[in-house]
Amino acid sequence: MEKHSDIILQRLQIGLNENCSIASQIADQIRWLIVVNEIKPGEILPPVRTLADHLNINLHTVRAAYRLLEESKLISTRQGLGSVVLDYDSSATVATNMLPTNTFGIIVPDLQNPFYPSFLSGAGKVSSAQNVLMITCDTREKITLGKAFFDMLITKRVDGILISPMGSYPSTTDFFDTGEYYDFPIPIVFVDRPNVKGYSVLLDAKGSGLKGTQHLIEHGHQKIAMLTGNLSIPTLHAVYEGYQEALERNNLSLDTNLVIDVKEFSYQAGYLATLQLIKNNILPSAIFAAGDMLAIGAMKALREHSIRIPDDVAVVGYNDIDVCGFVAPSLTSITVPMQKMGEESAKMLLALMNKQNISRQPLMMSTELVIRESCGCKKINQISTGVKKEV
C-alpha cells in the first residue's frame, strides 16, 4: 500500500548559507534517497505544506524542489494522490544542462586484486594532470552493487564514468550490455568488457589464453587444467577461448573436468580448486590459471601434497602481479599493461568529456608472456605476442 515517505522528514537538512538554492538542496537529497532505494517506487512524498512547515520554509520553495524532481522523471504529481515516486531511470535523471563538475567515476570489482591498484594509478595520473577528481567505487565482486554505484555517481553529477567488469556472482546479468548505455547522456568508457559496443579499452584476453596454454603445450604437456571464474563473463570467456584454441591447434582434446570454475579470484580459491583436482585424482601435468592469485593458491596446494613445481606440475598465471617474482618457484605469467590501460582509459574518457570526436573502434592492449621458473623454462626472459621462443 502506498504511504508517505517519513524518512524525508527525518533525514532532510538545508543550509541557508549554501551556494545552491534551498529547492536544489531538497531535490538533491530526495534524489539520493530514491537512487539508494531508501525511498521506493510507489511511495508518496510528504505534502508540500507538511514539508515546508517541517523545514520552516516557504511553500513555493518545496514546490520548486518537487518540480525539479518531476523534470528528472523521479516523481509524478497526481491529483488526489500527491507526489508519487516513479521507477528510477538513470538516463532520464542525468543533468545535461549543468556546468561541468570536473569529476568522473570509476567502477572496479575488487581493490584487493593487485590488478586494479595499478590500473587506478594510471587513471589517477591522467586525471590529476588535468585537475579532474576521480571517484573510485569498489563493487566487491557484486554486480548489483556496481549498478547501484553507477546510479549514485549519476546522482552526484559526475562528468563521465569508467566501467570495468564488476564481478562474477551472484548475478550474471550485465546491466550495461544494452544500447542505451552506448550513447548515454554523459560519456562512458568500458574497460576490459569485450561484449560492450560502446567506447572501450580492451585486453587481448583470447590471445593471452592462447599464449599461456601454448607455452605449456610446447613443454610437452597434453593434459592442462584451467582455473577460471564464471565463463558467462565475456572477459573470462575470451581467455577460455584462447585456451580452447591452443588445444585445438595441437589436436588435443578438451576435458571439461579440468576446467574449474571458482567463485572469486583469490589465493584461497586457487588453493581449493587445486585440492579438488588432487582429491578427484585428475590432477594433470600443467595448470593455466586465469589470474595470478589463483595460480599462487594452486602452487600452495601442490607444495602441501609434495607435488613438485614444475617437475610434476607446471603452472602459468595471468596478470603478472608483483608477487610473481617473489614466490618459489617464481611464477611464469601473462603480463598485462595495467597502468597503461588505466592511462589510456582515462585519456579516452577525458577526451569525450571535452567533446572531442574519437573513434568507437576499441583500443586493444597487447599482452606478453613473462618466462620464470614455474613453467619449466631454464632461463628467465620475456616473450612478446606471437614470438616463438626456445626453452
Neighbours of 152 (CB within 10 A): 17
Say which amino acid occupies 147. Answer: K
- CA–CA separation, 313 vs 30, rounded Å? 58
The structure's pTM equals: 0.78
- Say what the pLDDT of residue 72 is: 87
Lookup: cell for 69: 524532481
- CA–CA separation, 136 vs 268, rounded Å? 26
Q: Are 63 and 75 in contact (CB under 8 A)?
A: no
Say which amino acid occupies 136. Answer: T
Cis before residue 170, ω within 30 degrees of 0?
yes
Residue 11 has pLDDT above 70, yes or no: yes
Residue 381 has pLDDT above 50, yes or no: no
Residue 59 has pLDDT above 80, yes or no: yes
- What does the pLDDT look like over 160-207, one tens digit per residue? 999 998 765 544 556 676 666 777 889 999 999 888 888 999 999 999
Sheet holding 188-191, edge to edge: 133-138, 103-108, 161-163, 188-191, 200-203, 363-365
Q: Are 141 and 110 in contact (CB under 8 A)?
A: yes
Neighbours of 65 (CB within 10 A): 29
Residue 327 has pLDDT above 60, yes or no: yes
* Torsion of Cα atoms, 318 then 323 then 326 then 331, to 10°: -10
Lookup: cell for 195: 561484449
- What does the pLDDT look like over 203-233, one tens digit per residue? 999 999 999 999 999 999 999 999 999 898 8
- CA–CA separation, 195 vs 176, rounded Å? 10
Q: Which residue has the higher pLDDT, 102 or 232?
A: 102
Residues 6+ apart with CB under 8 A from 154: 35, 90, 93, 94, 186
Residue 391 binned pLDDT confidence (cut-offs 50, 70, 90)? very low
- CA–CA separation, 366 vs 72, rounded Å? 42
Paired strand residues for 201: 191, 363
Q: Which helix (H) or strand (E) holds 82?
A: strand 82-85
- CA–CA separation, 56 vs 268, rounded Å? 56
Q: Are 135 and 159 in contact (CB under 8 A)?
A: no
Say which amino acid occupies 338. Answer: M
- Say what the pLDDT of residue 170 is: 45
- Say what the pLDDT of residue 140 is: 87
Domains located in the chain, CATH noted: 6-88 (1.10.10.10), 103-202+339-365 (3.40.50.2300), 205-336+367-383 (3.40.50.2300)
Could you report how far apart the first and last alpha carbons of the chain are, in Å?
A: 71
Mean pLDDT of 249-264: 95
Mean pLDDT of 280-290: 97
- Say what the pLDDT of residue 233 is: 84
Which three-class secondary structure state does DSSP give residue 138? strand
Q: Are 189 and 348 in contact (CB under 8 A)?
A: yes
Percentage of residues of the chain with pLDDT beyond 70: 89
- Say what the pLDDT of residue 1 is: 36
- What does the pLDDT look like over 338-352, one tens digit per residue? 999 999 999 999 999
- CA–CA separation, 316 vs 286, rounded Å? 8
Q: Which residue has the higher pLDDT, 74 or 113?
A: 74
Q: Are 299 and 267 in contact (CB under 8 A)?
A: no
- Say what the pLDDT of residue 380 is: 43
